[in-house]
Amino acid sequence: MVTSKQATTYEVDIEDVEYLRHGDTPLLARLFRPRGTGPFPIMVELHGGAWVRGDRHNGNLANEALARNGVIVAALDFRVPPVASYPASFADIHYGIRWCKSQAEAWNGVPGKVGAMGTSSGAHQAMLLGMRPSDPRYAALPLSNGASALDGTLGCVIMVSPVIDPLGRYLYAKGLRDDVTPPEGMADRVGPMHDLYWVTEEAMAEAAPARALAAGESMELPPTLCLARSYEEAHPRPDLDEFIAQYRKAGGPIDVKIFEGEGERLLENPTTPVAQEALERMTAFIRQHLG
């Protein structure tokens, strides 16, 4: 098992900070900052919720646990329907990545490097942003402080229980696949959120990383850690297996840990043995790739 070399446990300061504003509407980042001189690695955390629900509070317990291990975490709010559909959240998050880079020195962070992590749809967004850091749709918002030299390149990505193929999950939920069968009622629970965020199946396919790689798109391949359960009813396993295969085929470095059992909430309770192992792996991975 991978273990972290960082044995120190830190006190943590937690605060909400406006990182971006659309008109009169602020978007907030919840910062979890270890007390100390650092330099500490910085991770942007993206909540799940089928691209529609959730907010920066979703991962509070796990984010604080990582900060106690010596990692600065910035958990972002971003635009979701009905305010805006794809690719609006990607533009907000891309801005947030660059904003974190601009704040690194003031936070006692490692300068020039930021990683991203997320759960479920947040994991998908972290991964796709890592693979398309220069996409003009995602990089559309200039930094308000004028730090135009900063880019959206990610030093690493961590996916927790990812819904990695939006179209694959959509067809799965509707019972239109031969390889997997959804639980009863999933179409009613999941389908409307896909429709709200993606609007079209063409958008879902365009934003599926494995499909983009298979089609020959030239993409960045940041070091990636994937953590998941052996069965997650909301996340069809063949899609994850296909992504891992395509990523490795393209030369992308990816570490995978599949925990036995059911359920998508690996980090919901950081005191469980599974969550503790996951957090240890995450901490070690972050330090390996961000310093």
Rounded Cα gap, residues 75 and 149, in angstroms: 23
Where residue 147 falls among pLDDT bands split at 50, 70, 90?
low
φ, ψ dihedrals at 48, nearest 5°: -90, -170
Question: What is the CATH classification number for the domain harbouring 250?
Answer: 3.40.50.1820
Query: What does the pLDDT read at residue 3?
Result: 43
Where residue 4 falls among pLDDT bands split at 50, 70, 90?
very low
Radius of gyration of the chain (CA): 18
Rounded Cα gap, residues 150 and 143, in angstroms: 9
Long-range pairs of 278-281 with CB within 8 A, sequence gap ≥ 24 = 278/160, 278/227, 279/62, 279/65, 279/66, 279/69, 280/1, 280/2, 280/3, 280/4, 281/1, 281/2, 281/225, 281/227, 281/255, 281/257
Residue 1 has pLDDT above 80, yes or no: no
Position 154 in a domain:
yes
Position 45 in a domain:
yes
| Cβ atoms of residues 268 and 229 within 8 Å | no
Segment 91-116 shows an average pLDDT of: 96
Number of domains in the chain: 1
Lowest mean pLDDT among 121-125, 149-153, 166-170, 173-177: 149-153
Segment 265-269 shows an average pLDDT of: 88
Rounded Cα gap, residues 50 and 189, in angstroms: 10
Rounded Cα gap, residues 198 and 50, in angstroms: 10
At 40-88, the pLDDT tens digits run: 999 999 999 999 999 999 999 999 999 999 999 999 999 999 999 999 9
Length of the chain: 291
Amino acid at 270: P
Helices (runs of H) and strands (runs of E) counted in the chain: 9, 8
Query: What does the pLDDT read at residue 55?
Result: 97
Where residue 144 falls among pLDDT bands split at 50, 70, 90?
confident
Position 2 in a domain:
no
More confident residue, 149 or 184: 184
- How many other β-carbons are positioned within 10 Å of the β-carbon of residue 19? 23
In which domain, by residue range, is 202 found? 12-290
Position 4 in a domain:
no
Where residue 265 falls among pLDDT bands split at 50, 70, 90?
confident
At 28-40, the pLDDT tens digits run: 999 999 999 999 9
Rounded Cα gap, residues 52 and 89, in angstroms: 10
Segment 253-265 shows an average pLDDT of: 90
Position 1 in a domain:
no
Residue 2 has pLDDT above 80, yes or no: no
At 179-225, the pLDDT tens digits run: 999 999 999 999 999 999 999 999 999 999 999 999 999 999 999 99
Residue 237 has pLDDT above 70, yes or no: yes
Position 7 in a domain:
no
Rounded Cα gap, residues 107 and 11, in angstroms: 14
According to DSSP, residue 104 is labeled T
Position 178 in a domain:
yes
Q: At what angle do helices 237-249 and 166-173 cross, to 10 degrees?
A: 160
Position 6 in a domain:
no
- How many other β-carbons are positioned within 10 Å of the β-carbon of residue 138? 22
Query: What does the pLDDT read at residue 153?
Result: 97
Query: What does the pLDDT read at residue 6?
Result: 46
Rounded Cα gap, residues 124 and 144, in angstroms: 27
- Nearest CA to 114 among 147, 86, 146, 161? 147
Query: What does the pLDDT read at residue 8?
Result: 86
Rounded Cα gap, residues 36 and 280, in angstroms: 20
In this prediction the pTM is: 0.95
pLDDT averaged over every residue in the chain: 95
